[in-house]
Amino acid sequence: MKKHIPNIITCCNLICGCIATYCAFYHGYQIAFLFILLGAFFDFFDGMTARALGVSGKLGVELDSLADCVTFGVAPSAMLFTLFNHVAYPEMMASEFFFHVMPFTAFLMAAFSALRLAKFNIDERQHTGFIGMPTPANAIFWGALISSSEAWLTSPRFNALFLFLFMILACWLLVCEVPMFAFKSLSWEKDKIKFLFLGCAVVLLLTGALTGYFDAEGTVWQGLFRGAAACIGLYVALSIVASILPKHED
C-alpha cells in the first residue's frame, strides 16, 4: 500500500489543478489561485514522501509531470484566458478578430509549461538547481497577480497588448537557459542569496498584508497575493543577478 501513497498525493495535486481551471473559467480568480497553492503544497510533499518511503519510481516521475502540467500550466493559462476577455484593448486592436483570437493565445503558456517540464525530466543539470523558471513559480506569479490586481489589469492603464507581451516573457523564462536557484539545500557559506531572498520575501509578504489591511478598497488577502507576486519577481531577478556574478571557487 505504501508504494501508492506518493501517487495519491500527486493525484491530489492534479485534482487541485482541475478545480483551479474550472474556477478560472468562471471568473473565480482567488479560489483558483488558492487551489494552485494547494496543488503546490501536494507537489512539494509527493517527492519527499516517495524518498522517505523508499518507493521512488518512473511512474511517479511521469505522473508528477502530468499533474504539474495541469496545475501549473493549464490552470494559470485558464486564468489568463478569462482575463483576456475582460482586459482593455488598444485602438489598433479594437476589432472582432483580436477580441476572439487573443484569449486563446493564453494557452501558449500551458504549452511552454509542458515543454519546461519535459526538459526538466531529461536535463541532468537540474538536480541541485533549475535552468529556467520552475512552473510552480510561474503559476504562483500569475495566480497571485490576477487574483489580487484584476481591477488594475482591466483598467485603461493596462491593455491586451501589454498582457500578451508579458505572457510571452513568462513563456521565455520557462524555457530559457538562465540558472535559477532551488531550496534543495541551504548553507550560509554557499547560499547567501537564498537567505537574502527569504528575508526579503518575508518583508514583501508582511508589507503586502499591512497594505491590504489599511487599504479601504483592498483586503489582507489581496495584499498577501500581491506580495506573493512580488516575491516571484524578486526570485527571478536575484537568480539572474546570481547567474551574472562571478563564481568563487572553493
d(C-alpha 41, C-alpha 52), whole Å: 17
- Domains of the chain in sequence order: 2-183 (1.20.120.1760)
pTM, entire model = 0.91
pLDDT in tens, the chain (250 residues): 677 888 899 999 999 999 999 999 988 899 999 999 999 999 988 878 877 777 777 888 889 999 999 999 999 999 999 999 999 999 999 889 999 999 999 999 999 999 999 998 887 787 778 899 999 999 999 999 999 999 999 998 999 999 999 999 999 999 999 999 888 777 777 778 889 999 999 999 999 999 888 876 778 888 999 999 999 999 999 999 888 876 655 4
Q: Transcribe 21-87 into DSSP letters.
A: HHHHHTT-HHHHHHHHHHHHHHHHHHHHHHHHHT---HHHHHHHHHHHHIIIIIHHHHHHHHHHTTS
How far apart are alpha carbons 12 and 219 in whole angstroms? 29
According to the model, what pLDDT value does residue 219 have? 86
Q: 41 is written with which cell numbers?
A: 503544497
DSSP code for 205: H
Cell numbers for 92: 489598433
Q: How far apart are CA 200 and CA 11, in angstroms?
A: 33
pLDDT tens across 208-238, in order? 999 888 876 778 888 999 999 999 999 999 9
CA angle, residues 7, 129, 74, in degrees to nearest 5: 50
Residue with cell 541532468: 124
Q: What is the pLDDT of residue 49?
A: 84
Using one digit for the tens of pLDDT, what is the confidence trace for 104-121?
A: 999 999 999 999 999 988
CA pair distance 179, 82, nearest whole angstrom: 32
Please provide the size of the chain in residues. 250
- Predicted local distance difference test score (pLDDT) of residue 102: 95
pLDDT computed for residue 143 by the predictor? 96
| C-alpha cell belonging to residue 241 | 543577478
pLDDT for the residue 246: 66
